[in-house]
Chain A
């Protein structure tokens, strides 16, 4: 079983729409959670950390459900610039991060 599993998508949404997707993780002892975004042929970039109480950063909202071992990301009022692959990242063992394969989001005009 993979440590982090994501729906690969793609999620194709019109500008202004809301899109949401989840990932699941296997290690219940995991302590740190992140969402990264990766544009085509570029490096992964930290989008936001995910906290137990859930957190919001502008149009982005992240939620953590420890009981069910999943993390979600919601993007409101989608922009063309939100088109990217979103990587779910979990820290099951200290400084080593486990990366999901990514969820592709395409926002169309």
Chain B
């Protein structure tokens, strides 16, 4: 079975540009999570969805970040405008209802110059 799919795997952009990260969760999973990982702050939960509905976005750092889940098989995380401090690895994860373990995608390594 395919795992969580993320694209792009690497993104290099200039400050001020819009960045869109994409995620396809494991088929049948009801929950989708967006994380950010840096050396300084470790793994941080940004937002999570249940059945395509955002449940908790308290981890979204500021208004420049937005996330959507238009259907059960696709989600986006958008940063507009991007800043150098947004440079990190962004992971998407999914889980099945009634199960708390999460399965991660390979991540998108974002560099903002």
Question: Contact: B101 with A46, CB < 8 Å?
Answer: yes
Question: Contact: B106 with A91, CB < 8 Å?
Answer: no
Question: Contact: B91 with A43, CB < 8 Å?
Answer: yes
Interface of chain A, helix or strand or loop or mixed? Answer: strand
Question: Contact: B100 with A101, CB < 8 Å?
Answer: no
Complex Cα–Cα for A46 and B102 (A): 8
Question: Contact: B101 with A34, CB < 8 Å?
Answer: yes
- The answer to whether A14 has its CB under 8 Å from any CB of chain B is no
State which of A42, A43, A97 has its C-beta within 8 Å of the C-beta of B45: A97
- A-contact 0/1 string along B93-113, CB 8 Å cutoff: 001000011111111010000
Question: Contact: B50 with A95, CB < 8 Å?
Answer: yes
* Chain A interface bracket (under 10, 10 to 19, 20 to 34, 35 or more): 20 to 34
Contact partners of A41 in chain B: CB under 8 A: 109
Count of A-B residue pairs with CB < 8 Å = 41
Contact partners of A49 in chain B: CB under 8 A: 101
Contact partners of B31 in chain A: CB under 8 A: 95
- A-contact 0/1 string along B34-76, CB 8 Å cutoff: 0000000011010010100001100000000000000000000
> Taking CB as reference atom, which chain B residue is nearest A102?
B42
A residues 82-103 with Cβ under 8 Å of B? 87, 91, 94-97, 99-102
Given the contacts A95-B48, A95-B50, A44 and B104 also touching, CB distance less than 8 Å? yes
Contact partners of B109 in chain A: CB under 8 A: 41
Question: Contact: A91 with B100, CB < 8 Å?
Answer: yes
> Taking CB as reference atom, which chain A residue is nearest B6?
A43
A-B contacts besides A31-B100, A99-B43, 4 pairs, CB < 8 Å: A32-B100, A46-B101, A46-B103, A91-B100
19 intermolecular pairs with C-beta atoms under 8 Å apart:
A31-B100, A32-B100, A42-B106, A42-B107, A43-B104, A43-B105, A43-B106, A44-B104, A45-B104, A46-B101, A91-B100, A95-B48, A95-B55, A95-B95, A97-B45, A97-B100, A97-B102, A99-B43, A100-B42
